[in-house]
Structure 1
Amino acid sequence: MKNDSYWGDKPKLDKVVFKTVPEDTTRLAMVETGEAHIAEQLPVTEVDRVKKSSSMTLGRYPAFASDHIGINNSKKPFDDVRVRQAIAHAIDKKTILQGVYNDVGTVAHSSITPSMVGYSPNVKDLPYDLEKSKKLLAEAGYANGFKATIYLNDNKARVSLAEVLQQQLKQINIDLEVKVLEFGAYIEAANKGETELFLSGWGNATGDADYNQYNLFHTKSQGAAGNHAFYSNPEVDKLIDEGRKEKDEEKRKQIYEKAQQIEMDEAAMVPYRFSENLAAVQKGVEGVWISPAGHIEIDDVTLP
């Protein structure tokens, strides 16, 4: 309800009602029929429906979140850096962005997005290069490839991505089995290190690089804290610890740039997409936006 005694600018709305509606298509239908004004956490699979609608507009906003193909560094053959690098070189990220995500987001070259403190455009990705990939596998003793399992939850886009990855990795003779789990079961398997390859993402509540770096890459974060890749590199640990203590903004950026480059060179994981926050908005609704952290901002909203 509106607080008439609020010290700042007076709200334009008398009240706001938040409804939890788990089903994606139901949320959209509520906006389409006028039952709701905004439906957030719009899946990329519904973007075309919103674009074609006469009653909705598509809201697209920069995000702190990124998506990645996880690799369990502690399991054979993925404990060999050459195998991880081979996988990274075999991933065609542009095709994934276009075919799976309807060009929502941008191709990622690190786990830290452009909206975040600590992002650096200087971090280099391992480029798509099938010949390089095959050469690395041969050097690692897997010239004929191997079988592997990729784990994921039942998110529609990730299921589609897994099917694309099956085809892409088949080109370097990796026979990929897709294992789709209920979200809770997927998280439990990832926490315990039971996965081989896996599909995941990482949001960010602070907008600072430490939230990603410490949780995703520090040795102390292996398992439930977020380092499902079970990645461990003493130099990276040291850089992350230094980044936590450094007060100079430019020095912190350099520290995180160095850490990110090591992570990419060692293919600790394969970040493939810098995400966007999406919403379906009833036509005529003005002033709504979603912050990079994913919070819906309605201070300046006006209704038709």
Structure 2
Amino acid sequence: MMRFTALFVTALLGTASVSQAQTGTLTVATAQDPQNWDPIDTFLIAWGTVAHNIYDGLIIRTPDLKLQPGLATKWTYLNGGKTLRFTLRKGVKFHNGEPFNANAVKFSFDRLLGAEGKKGPQQANYTSIKQVKVVDPYTVDFILAQSDPVLLTKLAGYGAMIVPPRYIKEKGAAYFDTHPVGTGPFQFVSYKNGESIRLQAFPGYWGGKPKVANLTFRFIEEPATRVAELQSGRVDIATAIPVAQAATVKGNSKLSLQAVPSPTVQALRFNVSHSLTKDVRVRRALNHAVDRDAIIKSILQGYASPIASLQSSKSYGYDPNLKPYPYDPAKAKALLAEAGVKPGTPIGIDFIGTDAVFREVAQAVAGFFQAAGLKPELKTYETNTFYSDIIPKNKTSNAYQMGWGGWTFDFDNTAYLLYHSKQFWNPDYSNKTLDAMLDKQHTMSDQKQRLVILRDIARFTHEQAIDIPLYNQQDLWGVSKRVQGFQAPSDSLLHLRTVSVK
């Protein structure tokens, strides 16, 4: 039996007086507008950056990646691990005045696990939950269909956020998409698609009133524009500073640059439904064709590390003995010839057009492919179209950009969603052997045995060359020195309640 109990963690939840003076507006520039604020409808890091200030989960993960009580004050495994019981925090209200209680938790998960949740990408993360039962107004039981070693972490993010039953029933799901209501430290004011979302401090927040009165997120896709707005003082914090402008930010006396190791990895995935990349020899050849170290040194200026699988070194499942394919142009050409690929054969590479850094990476990769004798064809897409339509509906070319934020820091949550047959992000690759390994570890409670299988999975995907793992990036944040108390998180999930501005 595992039992967790705790009081507020002052580093995260604080003990700020409700009467504490609030001043000013904190403005954050992010690269992407999720376009939907319903927790069950998106899988984008950009959503988490904003929405963790609007919503709470039963559990909170702190910036140092520790799990702490959120809307639940404690949790206990019962019945040999088949039931997960949560004791809920009392006296909490949603922004619309609706009470938070066990019925709200049940409603949130019934919705996530039902027909509404099936429309989006989040449901697959929570299939270990068979049903949620109300024990009393402040106690709920999660009846588990199977063990899930990452479930507690999942409950701290994205689809597991608790939503208001009465509000959604009255307003409808479509209205909720653009008018979110949660229990978080900031409440919704207005949203302009593609432009901004405005929030204000929620004075009744259970963890203490925020230090700023207003919080605005601006959606600025163009990196140079984000930096320009930061320099001008119209933005206080900017995400995803391009490495080409890192020195500019560092050299500005009014700004600071925070570089943090990230769970995010960048890769080129192969679409195996195309005849060229269906052949494993071609996929291995293309892995040998790319000089990752040169990309990291020349384009990323060292703000990244090479990887052999789609996970960072902090991920549970990481194997330090697994090495990337060595850069070997001669072997790449030999494997292509063995596969019968003629010189000048076209190969498509898809990527997000507004991603200035990856544009350079894609161009470099195209150069490596051309040196191997192929004819690369680059194609760009708008961000939301790429992730909501092109990838999941199997419309990609031979190779396509996959930026994956492994926010759980557990390879299961990456590998299962990217490699298991017919998952949302995997419309084309299917392998029964790999599916069996993924399924086996997905429900194991023995962590040591699970680690062995996760590493086997990493080796299998490496040998099958399902993708080209390129690098584990560092996230670069530009911060105005008028901002007090901000520390860039490793998982991009901003918690801004204790941040202030001078």
Q: 1:145 & 1:24 partners in 2: Cα distance?
A: 34
Q: Secondary structure at the match of 1:163?
A: helix
Q: Does 1:137 align with 2:339?
A: no
Q: 1:24 aligns with which of 219, 223, 229?
A: 223
2:236 is matched with which residue?
37
> Partner of 2:390 in structure 1?
189
Match of 1:207 in 2: 409
Partner of 1:126: 325
Instruction: Please name the residue that 2:284 is paired with.
Output: 85
Report Cα offsets for 1:107-132 as digits up to 9, x if no partner: 12110112222222122321111121
Helix, strand or coil at the partner of 1:191: coil
Per-residue deviation at 1:300? Answer: 5.2
Counterpart of 2:316?
A: 117
Unaligned runs of 5+ in 1: none
Residue 198 (structure 1) aligns with: 400
The secondary structure found in structure 2 opposite 1:220 is coil
Determine helix, strand or coil for the equivalent of 2:434: helix
Q: Secondary structure at the match of 1:42?
A: coil
SS of 2:267's partner is strand
User: Quick one: distance in 1 between partners of 2:229 and 2:430?
Assistant: 46
CA displacement 1:144-166 (0-9 Å, x = unmatched): 35211111121212221221112
Shift of 1:138: 1.6
Select which of 345, 364, 367 maps to 1:167.
Answer: 367
Q: Does 1:238 align with 2:440?
A: no
> Is this contact kept in 1: 2:270–2:277, CA < 8 A?
yes
Distance 1:27 1:16, change over 3 A: farther
Change (3 A) 1:284 1:40: same
State whether structure 2 residue 494 is matched by structure 1 residue 296. Answer: yes
Contact 1:169–1:176 under 8 Å retained in 2: yes
Structure number with greater CO (CA < 8 Å, separation at least 6) is: 1
C-alpha contact 1:61 1:289 (8 A) present in aligned 2: no
AA at the equivalent of 1:42: I
* Cα distance in 1 for residues equivalent to 2:246 and 2:451: 35
How many residue pairs align between the two structures? Answer: 299
Amino acid at match of 2:251: K
- Aligned identity (percent) is 27
SS at match of 2:277: coil
- Relative to the length of structure 1, the TM-score reads 0.88
Structure 2 counterpart of 1:178: 378
- Which of the residues 437, 447, 454 maps onto 1:256? 454
**Residue identity matched to 1:190:** I
> Aligned pair in 2 of structure 1 residues 16, 249: CA closer, same or farther (>3 Å)?
farther
Pairwise CA RMSD: 2.4
Deviations 1:20-58 (A, max 9, x none): 232434433343233433222323343232122222111
For structure 1, which segment, 64-73 or 179-188, has the greater mean C-alpha deviation from structure 2 after superposition?
Answer: 179-188
Q: 1:79 to 1:32 in 2, by over 3 A?
A: same
Q: Which secondary structure does the structure 2 equivalent of 1:219 belong to?
A: coil
Distance 1:59 1:74, change over 3 A: same
User: Given the superposition, is the C-alpha separation of residues 150 and 97 from structure 1 closer, same or farther in structure 2, using an over 3 Å criterion?
Assistant: same
Distance 1:189 1:6 in 2: 40
Give per-residue Cα distances to partners, 1:263-287, cap 9 Å, x unaligned.
0111100110112222101136453
**What is the CA–CA distance in structure 2 between the aligned matches of 1:14 and 1:284, rounded to whole Å?**
13
For normalisation by structure 2, the TM-score amounts to: 0.55
1:233 is displaced (CA, Å) by 2.0
Partners of 1:3 and 1:178 in 2: CA distance? 46
Report the more deviating stretch, 56-65 or 155-164.
155-164
Q: CA deviation at 1:257?
A: 0.4
Q: Is the 8 A contact 2:269 2:401 kept in 1?
A: yes
Corresponding letter in the other structure for 1:192? K
